[in-house]
Amino acid sequence: MLEKELKDRYEEASILSIALGGNHYLDAWTLGYQLGYSAAEQDTPSDQSVLFVGEGVTLGYDGIGREIDVFGGPGTADAGIYELDEISLASSLTEDEEWSYRFDVTRDLNDLGYPGTVEFGAKARVREKTADADETLYDGFGDDVTLADGFASAIDDYDLRAPFVGPAISPGAADRFIAANLGSFEIDAEETLIASVGDDYTVNEDVYAAYAMTRAELGRLRVIGGLRYERTRFDAEGTAIVEGEDGPSLVTFERGRNYGHLLPSLTLRYELADDKLLRFAASRTIARPEIGDVAPIAGIEIEDSDGAVALEAEIGNPELEPYDVINLDAAFEWYFGDVGLFSIGVFYKDIEDFIVRADVADRIDLTPFIGSTAVDDAEVIQPINGDQASVLGAEISFTRRFSGLPAPFDGLLVTANATFSDSEAEIALRDEDIDLPGQSDTVANLILGYEKGPLSMRLSSTFTGERLEELVEPDDPAFDRYQSDHFQIDFAAFYDVTEAVQVQFEVVNINDEPFYANFGRNDRFNSQFEQYGRTFALGVRYEPR
């Protein structure tokens, strides 16, 4: 089977952020406060997809790696074998609103004969995120409709090594067909219901924190110690879709959690000389799951092919624990010239409850998705917590700005940094260790810049090594999905027309680097290929002085 799908989507995003605060100085005391509000909205009023399916085609490939030679048997390029299978018309709205409150008190201890400060305060963050989607799926179009019925369009310039793919879907022909015949299409009521409520949710995440810290200057040694307590209240509401004898039914469900963490930290800074210093830091930190991971969503697809029922689903996990991390860092820094820095450091992280996406179909109750229906094959992808993980690494960084040189070299800036790490992680789904999900062994950046007068420019390149994304088959490492190495070049320029007006120009992905994902390490078997081209942006920023 070979599928051809055309997607046409319009999205509009808006972000509003407001902050009001201040500081009051009362002799040795400083009182600080801030009130913040932010709101983000992503509105997709039109999301259309058209799917044609070619049955009985013969496909194969030759070679392995990032790009492979794909070939098809006789007729795969014939537009007449691709039948219109499904049309989806959808819209969605996601809203994210957050209020934040902060109050700090700082006491300078110099007047008491103790060089340093003591500080304490509290902070609260109250957040609500909602998502609402509406989708209608059509799967009956009267007579059989194929690509050959006026829908075929030549493929213009896809840099793919797959010449057999043949005609594409004409966007204009698809739009005209839908506009002229929408009223006669048959709606797939069951799939429409599942698609329209599966991604709807309301998530509230409130974080309340209190802290105390002190800073002491002991000659060349600076000591900063602190203790922070955070309390998180989380609740989520969604809709479960339960399959029954009479079709799917909807059940509203809620999940709530309340947990706290005590987070100590210690930082030591020692000056070896005026331009050289050592740093050491130890801390405990947490990282809460992304809203999309804990939201009670369920994208479900059930197919019945000649009596064989297959379930494919992607679901959220409101029970996810946050990352719990012990951090140890040590670094040497050397400052030189007007703007020059060389640093080298090592770090170690001990992590509990890391998060990974995995197929959990054999480990969870499928009743909420299929009811009493017998399923021959199931794949349910869900973010879950792992057990223990560790990361050991080193990083090196260099920055130098050149000034006082003859034109045009005066104002040149060079920044280079690289991080090398090794990670191991334990998870109940696997007897042997895995890589820490999302952790690349190598990350490197090189930036060439220019700053002189009103002009500022940056040409940057970034390399990210392969990283584990998903355990597609928990029992088989050969199907672990990795994002491949990625190397990207970007450019940005800023020109200050006046003190208040700035012109900005950006080019993203100059080298047109595609996205690759693979099964197994080292680009073994291609899983996904996406090519985005270059993105250009031109804008004007106005900031009253």
pLDDT of residue 67: 66
What is each CA distance from 483 to 272, 389, 514, 517, in whole angstroms?
Answer: 42, 20, 11, 4
* Interatomic CA distance for residues 206 and 256, integer angstroms: 12
Please name which of 292, 229, 288 lies closest in space to residue 257, comparing C-alpha atoms.
288
Per-residue pLDDT of the chain (545 residues; tens, 9 = 90+): 788 899 999 999 999 999 999 999 998 999 999 999 999 999 999 999 999 988 877 777 665 666 666 677 777 778 888 899 999 999 999 999 999 999 999 999 988 778 899 999 999 999 999 999 999 999 888 778 888 888 888 665 455 555 556 688 888 999 999 999 998 999 988 888 888 888 899 999 999 999 999 999 998 999 999 999 999 999 999 887 766 666 667 778 888 899 999 999 999 999 999 999 999 999 999 999 999 899 888 777 777 777 777 888 888 899 999 999 999 999 999 998 778 999 999 999 999 999 999 988 888 877 766 666 677 788 888 999 999 999 999 999 999 988 777 777 788 999 999 999 999 999 988 888 999 999 999 999 999 999 988 999 999 999 999 999 999 888 888 889 999 999 999 999 999 999 899 999 999 999 999 898 888 877 667 888 888 889 999 999 988 77
pLDDT of residue 168: 84
Please name which of 415, 391, 447 lies closest in space to residue 340, comparing C-alpha atoms.
415
pLDDT of residue 164: 54
pTM of the model: 0.85
pLDDT of residue 492: 96
What are 536's strand-pairing partners?
507
Residue with tokens 């209190």: 210
User: 3-state DSSP call for residue 171?
Assistant: helix
What would the DSSP string read from start to end of 217-244? EETTEEEEEEEEEEEEEEEEEEEEEEEE
pLDDT of residue 112: 78
What is each CA distance from 170 to 138, 157, 161, 173, 432, in whole angstroms?
Answer: 19, 14, 21, 5, 49
Q: Are 469 and 439 in contact (CB under 8 A)?
A: no
181-186 long-range Cβ contacts below 8 angstroms, 24+ apart = 181/141, 181/142, 184/141, 184/142, 185/87, 185/138, 185/140, 185/141, 186/138, 186/139, 186/140, 186/141
* Interatomic CA distance for residues 345 and 360, integer angstroms: 39
pLDDT of residue 523: 67
Q: Is 110 exposed, middle or buried (0-12, 13-18, 19+ CB in 10 A)?
A: exposed
* Interatomic CA distance for residues 99 and 40, integer angstroms: 12
pLDDT of residue 372: 66
* Interatomic CA distance for residues 510 and 400, integer angstroms: 24
pLDDT of residue 438: 92
Domains and CATH numbers, the chain: 2-465+496-501 (2.40.170)
* Interatomic CA distance for residues 349 and 390, integer angstroms: 5
